[in-house]
Amino acid sequence: MQQREEKQLDAAVESLASRVAHVKNALHSFIYKLENEYERLTWPSVLDNFALLSGQLNSINKLLKNEKTPSFRNQVIIPLLLSPDRDEDLAKLTEQRVPVFSHEIVPDYLRTKPDPEVEEQEKQLSVEAARIGPEAAQKQIQTLNKLCSNLLEKLNNPRDDRDSESAAIRQNKPSFNPADTNALVGAVAFGKGLSKCRPPGPVAPGHPGQGPMMSGGPTLQQVTIGGGSNQQAGMGGPVAPQQQGQPGKMPSSIKTNIKSAHPYSR
């Protein structure tokens, strides 16, 4: 019976020590990050570190609550020998944190009760709680629970509402226009709007846009003329023969067409 308890105690202490070592390592790396890399640190990574610590603390709690763990409250640690001399073995064990096992460190490291100030505060709080009376306390508990659940609901559910709001906002500011896409693809694929044979329409006034005239020969542009794209507004039929006529007349017809088929007037 004794042996089993001893074995259980040993196992529990060992696993507790290993989990505490994990927490220590996590804290160590977190502090290092905070001290040295604070310029590059982002809030999500800080949150990750906190989450890691919280998970580790949780696992320690679970271990302590485990049925197989004997109650540590029943164990007592009594220092047998205190000396102000430096103890090398202890220093090595604790990575130079506790070089001396003396009267100064005992109250901190072997403490089982809370600090005196904390104890005072706890006593005051329990006096206060007793003074209020059970019904008032119950009411306060209920209000707190209701507030918490309301907040949780707000955080969890209207993600849908928020999404539809943000979707509406996004719709008000579209970042692309399918008509433009089609126009650009047409231009790249077969020169819609780009032919040497100047189509009437999107020509800036003041740029005569006269180049060597098309000396005949079928072109891609003429294939699209039959299709009636909006550049042809007001000017049916093949464009080339007209341009081979009087170049001087072009400016006036271009101007009228600009009014009717200007791509930028949206």
Partner 1 sequence: MEAPPVSVMPVTGGAVNMMEYLLQGSVYDQALESLLHRLRGLCDNMEPETFIDHELVYLLKGQQGNPFILRARRSLSHPTSPWHLRYLGQPEVGDKSRHALVRNCVDVAASHSLPEFLNEMGFRMDHEFVSNGHMFRKGAMKIVVSKLSRILVPGNTDNTERLSLSYLVELSVLAPAGQDNMSEDMRSFAEQLKPLVHLEKIDPSKQRH
Residues that bind partner 1 (CB under 8 A): 170, 174-178, 180-196, 204, 207, 209, 211-212, 217-221, 223-224, 227-229, 263-264
Residue 262 tokens read as 């200007």
- Tell me whether residue 43 or residue 264 sits nearer to partner 1 (CB atom): 264
In angstroms, give the least distance from the CB of 196 to partner 1. Answer: 6
In angstroms, give the least distance from the CB of 183 to partner 1. Answer: 5
Give the number of other Cβ atoms within 10 Å of residue 194's Cβ. Answer: 12
In angstroms, give the least distance from the CB of 53 to partner 1. Answer: 29
- Tell me whether residue 56 or residue 224 sits nearer to partner 1 (CB atom): 224
- Tell me whether residue 55 or residue 208 sits nearer to partner 1 (CB atom): 208
SS3 for 5-50 is: HHHHHHHHHHHHHHHHHHHHHHHHHHHHHHHHCCCCCCHHHHHHHH
- Tell me whether residue 138 or residue 177 sits nearer to partner 1 (CB atom): 177
- Tell me whether residue 17 or residue 204 sits nearer to partner 1 (CB atom): 204
- Angle subtended at Cα 185 by Cα 184 and Cα 186, rounded to the nearest 5 degrees: 90
In angstroms, give the least distance from the CB of 164 to partner 1. Answer: 14
Give the number of other Cβ atoms within 10 Å of residue 221's Cβ. Answer: 23
In angstroms, give the least distance from the CB of 261 to partner 1. Answer: 14
Type of residue numbered 80: L
**Contact of 75 with 10, CB cutoff 8 Å:** no
